[in-house]
Amino acid sequence: MIYERDALKRIFDKYDEDRTKARMERDRRVKEVNEKYPQLLEFDRKITEIGIENFKNILDNPEKSEEFNKNFEKKLSLLKEKKKNFLLENGIPEDFDEVKYNCEKCLDTGYIDNEKCPCLIQKIIDLHYEMSNMKGNLHDFSEFSFDYYGDKYIEKLDMTEKENMQEIFKKAQNFCEDEKSKNLLFYGGCGLGKTFLSSCCAKKMLDSGKSVIYETAASLFSDYEDYKFGRREGSFDETNELITGADLLIIDDLGTEVTNPVSVQFFFDIINKRTALSKKMIISTNLTMDGIQKKYTERLFSRLYESFEILHFIGEDIRIQKLKKEGHKND
C-alpha cells in the first residue's frame, strides 16, 4: 500500500530537488556563457555602475531626482538594447541567465499564492490513481454499454431491465457529482456490471482530484485480521487511516469473505466512521438483502439500509452473453 503522507513528502522533496537543480543549471549556463563572452560581464558591470552613479547623484541633489532618473532610464535601456543585440548576434538565448523551472507557474513550489498549482493537482491525481489499487482497471462512464440489458419487464420495479440499469447509471453519475448523495450498495448476480460501474465512479472521482481506495471485502477483512491476530508485522493504523480517510471507499464483492464477530465489528466501525465524516462509499455484493442480514447481523444490515441507496442489478450475466456472441460468430 502507498501511504499518502509519505507520498506527498516525496512529491515535495522532488519539487525541492527540481528547484535546486534548475538553479544550479542556470549558474552553470551563466558561467559558461560569461567565460566564452567576457563582454557580457562588461554590460552588467556598466549597468551596475550607472545605477550607483544615479543613486549618488540623487543623494547629492535630491531636487533633481526626476531628471537623474530619466537620464538613468535612458542609459539603462540603451545598454540593455546593446546587450540584447550582442546576445542575438552571438546566438545566445536572451533568457540564458534565467532559472528554467519545470513549471513556470509555480516555479516548482507546487503553490501559486497559497493555491495548489495545476502541476501539483495533477501529481496528487496521479498519486491517488496509484493509491486506489485500481490503476489499469478504471473505466469511464462513456464506456458503459446498456446493450447487455434487455427489455424484460421487472414487476417489482415496474420497468424493464434496461430502464432499471439506466436509472442506476444516473444515480451513480449523480453520486460522483453531488457531495450530499447517499452511499451506494450495488447488489445482484455475477457479471451484471457492478464492479464496472464502481470503477467508472472511481475514475470520475479520481479525475476530480479526490482519493479513492478500492478493496475487495476478502482482502480488506483478511488484512485486518492478520494484523489484529498478530499474523502480520506492523500496525494497521495507516491502512485504517486510508480506509477511513479516502474520499471514496469501494468495497467490492462483499459476502465472499469468511466472517466472524471481529470482522463484522470492523465493518460496522468503518461504516460508522465514514458516515460520521460524510465520506462516500460504494459496496457491491452478490448477496441478497436477506443474505446480508444473515451474514452480518440485523444491526449492521439496518445501518446499511439507513445510509446506503440500495440498487438492484438485474439481467443476464454479461460474461455469458459475450461468450454466446463469440459462439455465434464461430457457428
Provide, rounded to whole angstroms, the least separation between the CB of residue 124 and Zn ion: 12
End-to-end CA distance of the chain: 47
DSSP string, 159-199: EEHHHHHHHHHHHHHHHHH-TTPPEEEEEESTTSSHHHHHH
Angle between helices 39-60 and 4-36 in degrees, nearest 10: 100
Q: Which is nearer to Zn ion, 102 or 240 (CB)?
A: 102
The three cell numbers locating residue 176: 460522483
Look at strands 153-154 and 280-285 and give their pairing.
Answer: unpaired
Q: Which is nearer to Zn ion, 11 or 264 (CB)?
A: 11
What DSSP character marks residue 117? P
What DSSP character marks residue 152? -
Q: Which is nearer to Zn ion, 124 or 212 (CB)?
A: 124
Q: Which is nearer to Zn ion, 120 or 197 (CB)?
A: 120
What DSSP character marks residue 292? H
Provide, rounded to whole angstroms, the least separation between the CB of residue 105 and Zn ion: 5
Report yes or no: 289 and 187 within 8 Å, Cβ to Cβ. Answer: yes
Q: Which is nearer to Zn ion, 117 or 217 (CB)?
A: 117
Write out the H or E segment, with its range, that includes residue 244.
Answer: helix 237-245
Provide, rounded to whole angstroms, the least separation between the CB of residue 2 and Zn ion: 22
Task: Give the interface with Zn ion as residue ranges (CB under 5 A).
Answer: 103, 105-106, 117, 119
Type of residue found at 146: F
Provide, rounded to whole angstroms, the least separation between the CB of residue 174 and Zn ion: 32
Provide, rounded to whole angstroms, the least separation between the CB of residue 23 and Zn ion: 16
**How far apart, in whole angstroms, are the C-alpha atoms of residue 246 and residue 3?**
11
- Per DSSP (E only), the strands in the chain are 111-112, 115-116, 153-154, 159-160, 183-188, 212-216, 248-254, 280-285, 308-313
Q: Which is nearer to Zn ion, 124 or 254 (CB)?
A: 124
Q: Which is nearer to Zn ion, 58 or 103 (CB)?
A: 103
Provide, rounded to whole angstroms, the least separation between the CB of residue 245 and Zn ion: 25
Provide, rounded to whole angstroms, the least separation between the CB of residue 89 and Zn ion: 35
